[in-house]
Amino acid sequence: MTKNPYKSPECTISQREYSASWSDYELLDAGNGKKLERWGQIITIRPDIQAVFKPEWPNSHWQQSAHWEFQEHSSTQGSWLNIKANAPEHWSISYDNLSFNLKLTKFKHVGLFPEQHANWRFIKNHTRAGQKILNLFAYTGAASLVARSNGADVVHVDSVKQMISWAKGNMEHSQLTDIKWVLEDALKFAQRELKRGNTYDGIIMDPPAWGLGANGEKWILENHLPRLLETAHELMNQGAFLILNTYSPKIALTDLAVAANSYFSAPQVDIKQLWLPAKTGKELFCGNLLRAIKRV
């Protein structure tokens, strides 16, 4: 493992944090730009640009194992090739006491980012009943459900109506209630919360590297990172936590450190790479991660 040469005087940069498989999810193998994953009883093959190495298992074994393979038609969309007859296009899996509804989408995702298991563990250990948690860019709500299952009051914000509906279905399937749903641009909502004087005990942000905003405007994460951190810091109560995932290849660990040092001081910040190990021993890079605790 290569040591990170950057040493920040203000925060800690750890090299790696590993997520883990659980009973209903496994990264089986990875390589040649793809990953082989088990979701409950369903096995998929999906593209992954970080899988630049050779897989452990031969392609014949992948094809014998998988039910579905995603085939890219462009950088943003594609379709699923059915490998095993009668394989479902919709199914559910569990994590602890939570249930997630999965389905095949034209964007290669199935409704869950399993590498976020590392953050779910953190949320589970840092939330309790009565706390206020803000989940921005909240997608299908896994982090919202983990916080809510601990009794926290959760505000879930996403700019895509279909994602809100999907997350609400996950909440109901998990026999939870009373998550507050907000269909709005995440940063704009956070800034309005600041003007309203609202504060939170935990803020979770999983912004896309790039995309389109609620009104079709272009979103590029590196352009918004300073405002995201500044707004989150102002919304945080003393002792509150912040989780920020970044998938952008243009935002390095050092960039996160420099941005975080403007608002947090040591030892409040921990910055690291997020990795997912495969059953075969391969390791897949899943982006950079910042966590911070706001203290005087």
pLDDT in tens, 114-137: 999 999 999 999 999 999 999 999
Instruction: State how far the Cα of 194 lies from the Cα of 204, in Å rounded to an integer.
Output: 16
Q: Which domain holds residue 129?
A: 12-293
Residue by residue, DSSP assigns 88-145 as: -SEEEEEETTEEEEEE--TTS--S--GGGHHHHHHHHHH--TT-EEEEES-TT-HHHH
What's 186's domain CATH number?
3.40.50.150
Please give the pLDDT value at position 217.
65
Of 117-121, 192-196, 211-215, 286-290, the one with minimum mean pLDDT is: 211-215
Residue 3 banded pLDDT, cuts 50, 70, 90:
very low
Residue by residue, DSSP assigns 131-187 as: -EEEEES-TT-HHHHHHHHTT-EEEEEES-HHHHHHHHHHHHHTT---PEEEES-HH
Residue 6 lies in a domain: no
Is 96:75 a contact under the CB 8 Å cutoff? no
Copy the structure tokens of residue 127: 């939330």
pLDDT average, residue stretch 77-88: 96
Residue 150 lies in a domain: yes
Residue 2 lies in a domain: no
Residue 3 lies in a domain: no
Query: Residue 6 pLDDT > 70, yes or no?
Result: no
Its pTM stands at 0.91
Q: Per the structure, how many domains does the chain have?
A: 1
The distance from CA 195 to its chain's CA centroid, rounded to whole angstroms, is 27
Please give the pLDDT value at position 5.
35
